[in-house]
Amino acid sequence: ALLKNKIHETFILSNCDILIEEDFKKIYEFHKKEKNLITMVCSLKTFTIPYGVIEIGTDGQIKNMKEKPELSFFTNTGCYIVEPRVIDEMKTGRNVSFPDIIMEYKKKNEKVGIYPIGEHAWMDMGQMDTFEEMRARVEASETI
C-alpha cells in the first residue's frame, strides 16, 4: 500500500529468493493478451511417491493400490505480473500475503490467470538443496 500513486504501469512482483529462466517479454505479452489483473507464473512439478499408495474403501478393505505413483501439478513460483490497480486498491496498514490478495480478487470474479513454465525453469533458493545448483546456473549465465 506504500506504493499507492507511485506505480502507474503493469509491473513484475517477485519473491527475492527465486530464479526463473524464462522470457519475461512473453510472460508480459501473455498477461496483456489475456487481460488479466494478475498473472501468476507457475511451474509444473512432478513428484514420485517412493512407496506404494493404498486407497482404502469405506469397508476397510483395499480399494486400489498404486506402486510409486507420480503426481504432477502447477506450483506458485512467487512471481507475478500485476496491474497497478492492485496497489491502488490495497488497504494501508494491513499485513497480507500476495496469495491472499489473489484469492480476494478471485472471489470478486476478477481475471487472475497463470503462465505455465517448465519444471526446470524455476528454482527456489528457500530449498537449501537447490542453492548450489542455482549459484551454478547464475555463474554459467554470466559467462554467456
Q: What confidence tens digit (pLDDT) does each residue in 28-53 have? A: 999 999 999 999 999 999 999 999 99
Number of domains making up the chain: 1
Residue 68, burial from CB neighbour count under 10 angstroms (0-12, 13-18, 19+): exposed
pLDDT in tens, 82-108: 999 999 999 888 889 999 999 999 999
pLDDT higher than threshold 60 for residue 144 = no
Q: Is residue 4 in a domain?
A: no
Q: Is residue 53 in a domain?
A: yes
Q: Is residue 83 in a domain?
A: yes
Name the H helices within the chain.
Answer: 24-34, 85-88, 98-107, 128-142
Give this prediction's pTM: 0.79
- Residue-level pLDDT at 141: 76
Q: Is residue 3 in a domain?
A: no
Q: Is residue 66 in a domain?
A: yes
Q: Is residue 1 in a domain?
A: no
CATH number of the domain within which 104 lies: 3.90.550.10
Q: Is residue 22 in a domain?
A: yes
Q: Is residue 122 in a domain?
A: yes
Q: Could you tell me which of 74, 16, 11 has the C-alpha nearest to residue 37?
A: 11
Domain extent at residue 31: 11-142
> pLDDT > 70: what percent of the chain?
94
